[in-house]
Structure 1
Amino acid sequence: MEKKPNRLAQESSPYLLQHAYNPVHWFPWGPEALQKAQDEQKPILVSIGYAACHWCHVMEHESFEQEEIAQVMNQHFVCIKVDREERPDVDQVYMDAVQAMGVQGGWPLNVFLNPDAKPFYGGTYYPPQTWRQLLQSIAQAYIKSRKELDTSAEQFAQHLNQSELARYGLRESNPAVNAADLEQMFQRLKSRFDLKRGGTGEAPKFPMPSIWRFLLRYYHHSQDPAALEQVNLTLEEIALGGIYDQVGGGFARYSTDPHWLVPHFEKMLYDNAQLISLYAEAYQVTRNDLYRQVVLDTVAFVERELTHPDGGFYSSLDADSEGEEGKFYVFTQAELNGLLGEQAELASHYYNTSAAGNWEHGVNILHRRQTDEAFAADQGLSVEELQERVQHWKDILLQARAQRVRPGLDDKILTSWNALMVTGLTDAYKAFQEPKLLELACTNAHFLLQYLKQGNQLFHNYKAGKATVAGFLEDYALLIQALIGLYQVTFEEKWLKEARLLTQETLTHFFDPQEELFFFTGATGEQLIARKKELFDNVIPASNSVMAMNLHLLGLYFDKDQHSHLSEKMLARVRDLVVQEPSHLANWASLYYLKVQPAAEVAIIGPEAPSFRNLLHQHFLPNVLLAGTKEAGNSGLPLLEDRYAQDGNTTLYVCVQKTCQLPVQTVAAALEQIGTLTKR
């Protein structure tokens, strides 16, 4: 029987298009579906997921593609499909509701609402028989006990509208900061370290870049070797594990086991962007060549597999291909032998493969247990000789993989995730000075400003020439962060000016003066049943913590006390929670570090300003703010006013809290001044 398309066939989201030929009469989220529920007084089923989600595919196949189940859904409910990546605002509201019901959140997320879009029941994945029974039970309950369900829905709606600050008992505290709090944050994180395999806690293990970036800053401040040891253990274990694609570069979303071996094979842009930043910064601290290789190979993966012809970055690659999770990435021993010939034995030692396989169905996830230095020594090879062979193996295996059926590509472009990649590329450029990295970052920034910005307003998504969803706070916050980063590696003031304009837009349309924090949605956007604020740093940092960091930096660049004070007040609002729960507020913790360790402002004036800047960037200087120009008087930045190149030679001015050192004319002398001032 020929399948008929439903309303999702008109959408651009790859996730919604995956469901376009389900027999379920799906609607996209929007006024048509919500009005239908009102007119017919039917309950609403909202099913939320994303294109790379394995269990979303399973539930689609088991339930949403089945005529019998679809019939029940169509008869009793108005069914709405939501791409959580395209509508994080909708996802946020209903995820919060399901967690308030005592259910651990996750995707697919299936939530039942009354016609006013208020939730009364929800859960995640359901096997088909359970799902059918649940649908019938809720349909009957809605007829027989409508009043009770509406009362319950009203209570959940009230919970959703409670202020996040009130919910967690937060109140404005003393904005003063101290180093003892940083020590307490470290001790709390330390209590959760996995000292054998890196990371924190048990499986499943997520890389959580914000935690390790905070620890690099804490180490810079304290020189406590335990902090750096845990960062290095974690980064090496991840880089050698199966969570990292040993052949093609790039990271999977998380590891299902405690050893970083078996990944959930989906590859997300936001993970790879932030891990590029993390490994680049760790390289600046350690000069570990493994970290350099990981960064460059991951950038190569993004460029090869996630890049739009005009320079935007796509969202993700699916975990599945040909209906099997991980099939694209794994090899049997026979395949390796056939591809690598006489080198297969050494390669199998290197990648820890066997005839029996190290995963299900006799296949192997390629992973390593030794660094190149250790493996080369064991095999009586030089490191250079080993790496030459490894590159040869990778080229062959990558070519072999290219012949396979590829995982599904989610080719929508999201402003927030692209901005994270711009930041990753600029962080990598600081560490490695590879021109290609800066070129990719600038091309992407131009793409975002051309296609996802109208006036001073941002859009969230772009696909097939169209941007359709108004920008969220995460889009503004992460793009402002990226633009500040671009200024730092180019000294082109246009990037800072864009950042300032977008910041003003957030203050006008997203800011809540009562709580001195930002809403996730703009005042002119669609009004859902609750308007949320994002406080907790998850896999992606909270948009409020990123905005607080942006305001801190822009306050310094433009000498704007209002921005600096607002940043302090935002941090003061969550300060107690940051100290008590740093694993959930790690980006806030990094801001706390910047407040404890005031920034050294370094102005560079003269013909060699770009090369001096690049020399400084080779060092990990998390509390240094760089500004520069080749010609004095050629800038509108307060940091560069009344500064000039003495005797025509490039001159560096190092200041902390408006107190300046004598001008110097070498990077070494500036680094000495920075070290003295920031270690007080």
Structure 2
Amino acid sequence: MIEAYGATNNEHYANTIRQTISFLINEMMHPDGAFYSAIDADSEGVEGKFYTWSRKDIESILGKDADIFCKAYDIWEDGNWEKTNIIWIPTKLEKIALENNYPLDELKDVLERSRAKLLEVRNKRIRPMTDDKILLGWNALTIKALSQAGMLLKEKSYIHIAERAIAFLEKNMLSKEGIWMHSWKNNQSKIPAFLDDYGALISAYITLQEATGELVYLRKAIQYTEYVIQHFSSLSTLFFYTSKEQEDIVLRKKDIYDGAIPSGNSLMANNLFYLSVMANKPEWAEMAKGMLLSVGGGMVHYPISFGNWDILLQQMVHGFKEIAIVGSNYKLELENVNSIYLPDKLTISAEADFELPLLQNRYQHNKTLIYLCKDYSCQQPVESIEELQNLL
């Protein structure tokens, strides 16, 4: 959804992102910041009972606004799903407004007000059970999504929530020995993290660095990439799913297929390729290329099962738009750069020169400069987001 909004600038997608994040915060967030695993579909022994409505109930709650609400959300006397109604929008609001001679802005206000009334009633129902287990990989993917949404929508609160979540994980799921744990519940972390946990975590750190400009996140991404190479490597190009420290495993498998979540190997291949540029480690780019080649046959025959690998292939073909921001106002300019949808960008920023190659010898006194580079070769720096857009 974040990618769809970035590519189209469709405000409907932006609203859906905001509503989804609101649900996450209100329904699935631990008081200290991380996110629970799941909410049961059933309540009182009936699937969907907590979330579905009869038309009669909606008319009783909404009164005169019920008719237009039911038209917008496809609510029927007989139901739109198993004799009850799911609130959804099958038709664009512009069409609903036109067909019913309803001003669009007024329609949006009525629907928002009506949803708030229904939510108030829904919150008094018997709630479905929540699986309050906290999983490292799933939280890392959520942190990445929150950071991406915060950047594109210029919603700093989403980035703050992401930082709060990563702080929870670091406090509760990282052992004193520096080993990450897979799950946490009731103040106990269990099971050493798997490859997909580390892959998602490193990706989250990468995105947090881009969102905040805090290089500590990039250092951690590099640190845990080195850990994965040391502890998950095999004799072939792909990583094992389990660490070599897990000696009770009869067979160490290798996961390559992208399903509901990306595979650990595709996550790591993307991380390696990205960090090869950030950290000037060409050997990591070669590792990523070797991993991609090893699954090439599968990508050709079953592309849907290799979605995250496909993204890596595109990055390797087209390369990154390397953007470096250096100067005292780097955080402000970073926020402006991040609000531009550039799926192939790589962004790093700091107040002054730094040891990383994209930041070296970039600082100029009393200026905040934006550099657009390719393979560390940069164009003349600019001082505004408008000038940068002219270069892109």
TM class by shorter-chain length?
A: over 0.9
SS in 2 for 1:467: strand
Instruction: Give 2:143's aligned residue.
Output: 422
Give per-residue Cα distances to partners, 1:136-192, cap 9 Å, x unaligned.
Answer: xxxxxxxxxxxxxxxxxxxxxxxxxxxxxxxxxxxxxxxxxxxxxxxxxxxxxxxxx
Q: Do the aligned partners of 1:456 and 1:505 also contact (CA within 8 Å) in 2?
A: no
Separation in 2, partners of 1:374, 1:607: 48
SS in 2 for 1:648: coil
Alignment of 1:358-377 (within 5 A): 358-360=80-82, 362-377=83-98
Separation in 2, partners of 1:376, 1:545: 45
Q: Do the aligned partners of 1:415 and 1:460 also contact (CA within 8 Å) in 2?
A: yes
Alignment of 1:146-165 (within 5 A): none
Give per-residue Cα distances to partners, 1:227-274, cap 9 Å, x unaligned.
Answer: xxxxxxxxxxxxxxxxxxxxxxxxxxxxxxxxxxxxxxxxxxxxxxxx
Shift of 1:422: 0.3
Separation in 1, partners of 2:113, 2:368: 45
Alignment of 1:7-156 (within 5 A): none
Separation in 2, partners of 1:374, 1:287: 19
Give per-residue Cα distances to partners, 1:300-359, cap 9 Å, x unaligned.
Answer: 100001011110100000111111111111111111111111211111111111212222
Pick the structure with greater CA Rg.
1
Q: 5+ unaligned residues in a row in structure 2: which ranges?
A: none
Separation in 2, partners of 1:422, 1:526: 31
Instruction: Give 1:69's aligned residue.
Output: none
Q: Which amino acid aligns with 1:610?
A: K
Give the one of 320, 329, 337 matched to 2:42.
320
SS in 1 for 2:347: strand
Shift of 1:526: 4.7
Alignment of 1:624-663 (within 5 A): 624-630=345-351, 632-633=352-353, 635-645=354-364, 648-663=366-381
TM-score by length of 2: 0.97
TM-score by length of 1: 0.56
SS in 1 for 2:35: coil
Shift of 1:528: 3.0
Q: Do the aligned partners of 1:606 and 1:629 also contact (CA within 8 Å) in 2?
A: yes
Q: Do the aligned partners of 2:71 and 2:96 also contact (CA within 8 Å) in 1?
A: no
Give the one of 603, 608, 618 matched to 2:329.
608
Instruction: Give 2:64's aligned residue.
Output: 342
Alignment of 1:208-287 (within 5 A): 279-287=1-9
Instruction: Give 1:665's aligned residue.
Output: 383
SS in 2 for 1:330: coil
Instruction: Give 2:190's aligned residue.
Output: 468
Q: Which amino acid aligns with 1:641?
A: Q
Alignment of 1:222-621 (within 5 A): 279-360=1-82, 362-454=83-175, 455-512=177-234, 514-621=235-342
Give per-residue Cα distances to partners, 1:398-452, cap 9 Å, x unaligned.
Answer: 1111111111100000000000100110110111111210110000011111111
Separation in 1, partners of 2:159, 2:194: 26
Q: Which amino acid aligns with 1:644?
A: Y
Q: Which amino acid aligns with 1:325?
A: E
Q: Which amino acid aligns with 1:652?
A: I
> Please, what is the CA RMSD of the aligned residues?
1.3
Q: Do the aligned partners of 2:358 and 2:376 also contact (CA within 8 Å) in 1?
A: no
Separation in 2, partners of 1:316, 1:497: 31
Separation in 2, partners of 1:618, 1:501: 28
Separation in 1, partners of 2:76, 2:323: 55
SS in 2 for 1:654: strand
Shift of 1:621: 0.8
Q: Which amino acid aligns with 1:653?
A: Y
Separation in 2, partners of 1:527, 1:371: 55
SS in 2 for 1:540: coil
SS in 2 for 1:585: helix
Q: Which amino acid aligns with 1:315?
A: S
Q: Do the aligned partners of 2:327 and 2:363 also contact (CA within 8 Å) in 1?
A: yes
Separation in 2, partners of 1:519, 1:527: 14
Separation in 2, partners of 1:643, 1:656: 15
Aligned length: 391
SS in 2 for 1:604: strand
Q: Do the aligned partners of 2:357 and 2:376 also contact (CA within 8 Å) in 1?
A: no
Q: Do the aligned partners of 1:284 and 1:431 also contact (CA within 8 Å) in 2?
A: yes
Q: Do the aligned partners of 1:456 and 1:502 also contact (CA within 8 Å) in 2?
A: no
Q: Do the aligned partners of 1:457 and 1:502 also contact (CA within 8 Å) in 2?
A: no
Instruction: Give 1:134's aligned residue.
Output: none
Q: 1:456 to 1:503 in 2, by over 3 A?
A: farther
Separation in 2, partners of 1:652, 1:344: 52
Alignment of 1:166-181 (within 5 A): none
Q: Do the aligned partners of 1:520 and 1:532 also contact (CA within 8 Å) in 2?
A: yes
Separation in 1, partners of 2:360, 2:34: 36
Q: Do the aligned partners of 1:314 and 1:412 also contact (CA within 8 Å) in 2?
A: yes
Instruction: Give 1:115's aligned residue.
Output: none
SS in 2 for 1:517: coil
Separation in 1, partners of 2:118, 2:85: 13
SS in 1 for 2:362: coil
Separation in 2, partners of 1:662, 1:581: 43
Q: Do the aligned partners of 1:353 and 1:364 also contact (CA within 8 Å) in 2?
A: yes
Instruction: Give 1:14's aligned residue.
Output: none
Shift of 1:473: 0.7
Shift of 1:281: 2.1
Shift of 1:607: 2.3
SS in 2 for 1:602: strand
Separation in 1, partners of 2:295, 2:6: 30
Q: Do the aligned partners of 2:213 and 2:334 also contact (CA within 8 Å) in 1?
A: no
Q: Do the aligned partners of 1:281 and 1:431 also contact (CA within 8 Å) in 2?
A: no
Shift of 1:375: 1.6
Further displaced range: 393-402 or 663-672: 663-672
SS in 2 for 1:390: helix
SS in 2 for 1:314: coil
Further displaced range: 572-581 or 346-355: 572-581
Q: Which amino acid aligns with 1:556?
A: V
Give per-residue Cα distances to partners, 1:530-567, cap 9 Å, x unaligned.
Answer: 21111011110111000000011111111111211111
SS in 2 for 1:462: strand
